[in-house]
Amino acid sequence: MNWLQKLANQPDKRWAEFKLGLGIFVMGVMLVLAGARWWMWLQLPGVLCLFVGSVIAAKGYLGILFYRLTSNFKKLKPPAEFDKDK
């Protein structure tokens, strides 16, 4: 679980990682579309960029998700009136 805490403790870094992966993914989409239009061999690096961008963005997204889940749920306490019988 140490890697999970390490992943969740740096939300700014994970957000930057998600944006980087998204940018690489978009570049891969543009290469695939350019290869379909002009030169077929552009599609191979495009597919590689799609894969790499997806992995980087997924890692960043999971880090953001784990941060949100761990930081929001451990601070909740029931109200004082909750235990009283009416």
CB 21 within 8 A of CB 32: no
pLDDT at 86 over 70: no
Instruction: Report CA Rg, the chain.
Output: 21
Query: Whole-model pTM?
Result: 0.72
Determine the average pLDDT of the residues in 34-40. Answer: 84
Question: Domain-by-domain residue ranges, the chain?
Answer: 2-73
Q: How confident is the model at residue 82 (pLDDT cuts 50, 70, 90)?
A: low
Q: What is the rounded distance in angstroms from the CA atom of residue 33 to the CA atom of residue 55? A: 21
